């Protein structure tokens, strides 16, 4: 079926901002356990060889695939993303309802739930 992609091929896909500046890459997908929907793409940038890297959970619906860029495009700039909710690689993110709302509100996204 056209438009489907294996999840392991999404991992590593580059992410670009509105100005087509490279922001980072998709590190993993976060799924809703019961419904199976993709809730977030975790995008990372910064750090060296994974050290000091921050993870930015981005609502899946905010990413659009661009054939021209051969990657995903996000309707924010890298500077805006730097202020977004994030966590470092060592910590486990708290996926509480409050944090989910904070993330979706930050991006002006419609909640998946």
Q: CB–CB of 44/56 below 8 Å?
A: yes
Report domain 7-107's class: mainly beta
Region label for 106, one of left (φ > 0), alpha (ψ between -120 and 50) or beta (otherwise):
alpha
pLDDT per residue over 46-77, tens digit each?
A: 665 555 678 999 999 999 999 999 999 999 88
Going from N- to C-terminal start, the domains of the chain cover 7-107
Q: What is the pLDDT of residues 94-110, one digit of tens each?
A: 889 999 999 999 999 98
Secondary structure (3-state) at 22: strand
Joined together, the tokens standing for residue 89 give 């690689």
């Amino acid at each position: 079926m056209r438009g489907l992609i294996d999840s392991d091929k999404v991992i590593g896909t580059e992410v670009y901002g509105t100005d087509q500046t490279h922001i980072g890459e998709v590190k993993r997908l976060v799924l809703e356990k019961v419904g199976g929907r993709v809730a977030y793409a975790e995008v990372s940038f910064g750090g060296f060889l994974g050290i000091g890297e921050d993870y930015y959970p981005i609502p899946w619906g905010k990413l659009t695939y661009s054939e021209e860029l051969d990657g995903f495009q996000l309707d924010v700039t890298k500077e805006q993303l730097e202020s977004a909710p994030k966590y470092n690689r060592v910590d486990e993110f708290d996926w509480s309802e409050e944090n989910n709302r904070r993330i979706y509100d930050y991006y002006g996204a419609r909640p998946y739930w």
